[in-house]
Copies of this chain bind each other. A is one copy, B any other.
Amino acid sequence: MLATQSEGDDVAGHALKAIILNCTLKRSPAVSNTEALASKVVEWWDRMDVVSEIVRVVDYNVPFGVSSYEGDGDEWPLILDKVKAADIVVLATPIWFGLRSSVAQMVIERLDGTYTETNDVGQYPLYNKVGGVIITGNEDGAHSAAESTLFNLSHLGLTIPPNADTYWVGDAGPGPSYIEAHGEDHAYTKRTTRWMAHNTVHLARMLKANPIPAEGNTFAEEDEHAPHIG
């Protein structure tokens, strides 16, 4: 039983934390289809004792840039702190013109700043976190948005579980979005939501119990590694 394991985690004070970065273009309180699908993932996590939060990025003042702090008024550090505190980091994005949103791209660009840091053992600071992606669009582009996002996350140090994506898209051309189209009843999206919610947790538990060894994946080893055996 996952619930039991989860309770076990709780006993040890290790309840998992998850953050979903909702990259809709619309500020609160506008309705976000992407948030509607994200909330389905949260429903599963709630049952698994994962403490989660959905952050709508455009509600914060996040300027364009590739560092972790872009000067006065930059609220990205508030979001980055939440990312660093999480065991599971999920980008949720609408599709525009076949790609993830400009806000999602901006979030990835800002995460570039983490490349200049390391964790205690010399790896990128986002190591031992698990990544996933949630996508909604009215027609097409889910694969593209998932491909780029999961790859970027893996490059930033996150581990990508099997079936780490869930998405809803309608058929070709303009049309209703997730909420209006009753995407919540769409069998495929329900299944991928379930799989994604569970697999992010499965891997996060593994990595919490057994972090990735700092062997072969740090900058510090660079010099010694030329002749290094093993």
A197:B216 contact, CB within 8 angstroms: yes
Check if A76 is an interface residue, CB within 8 A of chain B. no
Q: Which chain B residues lie closer than 8 Å to A170 at the CB level? A: 171
Interface size on A, as a range, is 35 or more
A48 at the interface (CB under 8 A from B): yes
Given contacts A109-B102, A216-B44, contact A159 B161 (CB under 8 A): yes
User: Given contacts A64-B25, A212-B202, are A105 and B96 in contact (CB under 8 A)?
Assistant: yes
| Beta-carbon contact of B216 and A189 below 8 Å | no
CB-CB contacts below 8 Å: A169-207 with B: 169-175, 181, 186-189, 191-192, 194-195, 197-199, 201-203, 206-207
On A, residues with C-beta under 8 Å from B are 1-3, 6, 25, 44, 47-48, 58, 64-66, 96-103, 105-106, 108-109, 112, 123-124, 126-127, 139-144, 146-148, 150-152, 154-165, 167-175, 181, 186-189, 191-192, 194-195, 197-199, 201-203, 206-207, 209-210, 212-213, 215-217, 219, 221-222, 225, 229-230
